Chains A and B, each alone.
Chain A
Amino acid sequence: MTTETAGSVETSDSGPTSTGSRTTMILGIVTLIALGVLVLFGLILSPADENQGEAVRIMYVHVPSATLSYVGCFLTTIGSVVYLWRKSQWWELVAYAGAEVAALFTAFTLVTGMLWGRPTWGVFWVWDARLTSEAMLMLLLLGYLAVRRLAADYEVRAKRAAIVGLLLVPNVFIVRQSVQWWRTLHQTPTLSLSGAEIQGLMLFSLFTGFIAFTLAFIWMVIHRFRVAWLEEQVDAEGLDAAIAERRAEGVIS
C-alpha cells in the first residue's frame, strides 16, 4: 500500500522541470520492484522465527536501515573532508545530502528498534548499547544539519558544517566504544538484535532488504543532492539579482 504511493511519486518525476533524469527514473523503478519483492518475502513468504516469532520480520527493515544510517555518516565525513581540502562544492552537497538521508534512516532504525523491543523485551526502550549509540548518532546528525541550515552565507554554513561533518565518524566511533563499555561493565552482554542463526528464506529476505534499501538510499541521496544544488543556485541568484537591483538604483539617482 505504502509502496504504491511512493511509486506514483518516484516514477512520475521524469518531466523537464524536476530533479529527475533518465537514470534516476530507472533507478526509482528498480527500487520499487525491489521493495515489492521485499514486502513479498519479508511479510508473506518467509516463516516466523522460532524464538522471536513474527517480530523477526521487523529485522528485515531494521537492520538495513541501521547499516545505511552509518553509510550516510561515512558519506558526510568523506564529503566534508574533500570539501575542506579541495573546496569542492560538489562534495559539500554530497555531505549534506548524505547527512539528511542518514538522519531519516536513523529515525527508521530507532522507531523499528523500539517497535521490536516492545513485544520482545516488553518495553519500548532499553539502554542497549546499539540502540543508545544509534540515538546518539541521531543527535550528532541533527547537530550537523542545524549548522548546515543556518541562515548565513554559503561559505560560512558550508565550512562550519564541514568541520562538524569531519568529526562525525570519529565521534560515532568514540560514542559506540564508550556506550559498549558502559553497558558491558554493568550487566551481562546486551541482547543481540539479530537472530542467532538466520537461514533460507529469512536470510534471503534480509538480503533483499539490504538491496532494496540501498537502492532507495542512492535514489534519495541523488535527488536530495540535486535539490541542495538548486537551493544554492536560487540563493546565489537571489543575491545577484539584489545586487543588480541596487546597482540600477545607484545609476538612476
Chain B
Amino acid sequence: MSNALILAEATGTWPYVAASWALVLGGMGAYALVTVVRGRRLSKKVPSEKRRWS
C-alpha cells in the first residue's frame, strides 16, 4: 500500500520535472534563435568595419 503510494507520487512528479527542463532548455534555445536571427538581419544593414567581432 505505502509502496504503491510512493510509486504513484514518484511518477506524479515526472511531468513537472519534464515540463521544467523543457521550458528552460526550450526557452534558452528560442531566445538564442531569436537573437541570432535578429543579428543576421541587422548585420546586413551595417558595414562590416562596424562589426568589429567578425
Interface residues, chain A, CB within 8 Å of chain B? 1-3, 5-6, 9-10, 13, 15-21, 23-24, 35, 39, 42-43, 48, 53-55, 57-58, 61-62, 65, 101, 104, 107-108, 111-112, 115-116, 118-119, 216, 219-220, 223-224, 226-227, 230-231, 233-234, 237
Contacts and interface: CB of A to CB of B under 8 A. Distances in A.
A57 B24 CA distance: 13
Nearest to A234: B45
9 shortest interchain CB distances as A-B pairs: A6-B29, A19-B39, A230-B42, A2-B25, A17-B43, A54-B13, A21-B53, A112-B20, A119-B13
User: By CB atoms of chain A within 10 A, which of B19, B21, B22 has the most?
Assistant: B21
Interface string B9-45: 1101110110111111111110111011011101111
B35 A220 contact: yes
Nearest to A5: B29
Contacts of B27: 104, 107-108
Contact of B35 (A17, A57, A108, A224): A224
Contacts of B43: 17-19, 230
B2 to A, nearest CB: 14
A65 B16 CA distance: 17
B13 A55 contact: yes
